[in-house]
Structure 1
Amino acid sequence: MARPVIGIICSRHLVDGTRETQMTGRRNIDAVANAADCAPLLIPSLPDAISVGDLLEAVDGVMLTGGRANVHPRHYGEELTERHGEMDEGRDGVALPLVRACIERGVPIFGICKGIQEMNVALGGSLHPEVGELPGKHRHRMPKGCKDPKIVFELREQVRLRPGGVLATMLGTESIVTNSLHGQAVLEPGERVVLEGWAADDTVEAISVAGARSFAVGVQWHAEYEAETDPVNSVLFGRFGDAARAYRKLRRAAAA
């Protein structure tokens, strides 16, 4: 039997500063293919080229990946400033309605790094462009200038999980350690957004969606890193894959 299909959202990227492409990291693809045991399908962040409705007829789950660009602040009622950094409005135009459609239809959705931020904004929440600037917060980025993956993705963030919550139940623990590679972070949670995990400085590290009919989880760390072997990330991708298999079965039964 064919594996469930997971749509992996891409981001705008300029090759040599001139040639526009759509791309995602290899780790995202490998995590879906191996840790979730699903078939990866790349989604271009081009609102004029794809319809969310058509897309959801083709996939059994959606993965919102990390990305260098931030969500445009107009989507949560703020003016754009230099502090908000790089934008990718094409991705905003696909990701935000895609989140809402997945929740409405019960399609499994997994938001990673930028993906948790997109989930929050799509449901009416807000973000802070550089959480380390807030009083009492620490810097959540990798060491400046470092390119060694072992250091970049080092497990440096102690995360406490909501007792009895979605992630705590899924992982069988209320305390985990993750990597930390972000500036922007959840500020005010959106409607139906349930806070599931916090860093030591109370920065939001994980969310779920209240009343969601399927897997609807966002995490601030890069869960695609060592997704097959990390004790936290492997469980998350395994459960995401299970949800996609269940959704595919329902779709096939409804079409029969």
Structure 2
Amino acid sequence: MKILGIYGGQDANGLTASLVKEVLAGVAAPATTEFVDLNQYQIHPDKPETTNPTLDKLEAKLKAADVWVLGTPTYFGTVAGQFKQLLDCMRHRMTRMTHKGDTLPGQFKDKHYVSVTSCFATGLDNTFTHQTDATLVAIDKAMTAAGVHKITELVLPHTWGMASLPLAKVNQAHQLGEKLGTFKKKDDETVKRYFLLFGMIAVMALATMGIQLLLPGIATNFWWRYVSFVVIFFVLLACLLHYATFMRHKRR
């Protein structure tokens, strides 16, 4: 088992990079770790009939690792430029395109990753203003396209004026590292997703029928029951999808 930490941001000794390093520090033998500072690489996109040693080297590191710990601070509400450059330039190596332009997973399919980010906002502020959501979504979109599975995410809020990592966050990073060192690879979660989908539909249908009972006159007319069911079910589904897309992100 190899855990690869990749940091993309301005300061390789800063808080976000330190948090990534603390996750790696929690990984116990026989698992191995490596930390990559993207500032040490001149990352440029591939060009036809031209070698790209930098991307070749990074590609080899990504391929050799079982789990990626992807760290980037949140700048202006999204990923740092160094990290975005990696995602953009590695796109054709992480995914493959069909003749119709569809994006499909490439050579890294079924690997796993952890997202790590930070922001100036407090945990409470980040909960309501969603400062780190765009960063985490950007990482998720790229990894999903590449067929890489998410394990979890780690967020460090309230970094304004912070000189060192809080002990509680260090312990949390170490605990995560311990789990990564013994993480069991999951290649296919299709069956699990179908079970979750069935459970969500069952719960929403039950909730919809319960709400209908509270509405006077609904039970006596078929079309009123149908229309109210569709509307209520849609609202519940929209709320659930919003939660699954944004609210599930950790912000503290």
TM-score (normalizing by structure 1): 0.33
Larger relative helix fraction: 2
Q: Relative to total residues, which structure has the larger strand share, 1 or 2?
A: 1
Structure possessing the higher radius of gyration over alpha carbons: 2
Give TM-score, length-normalised by structure 2. 0.33
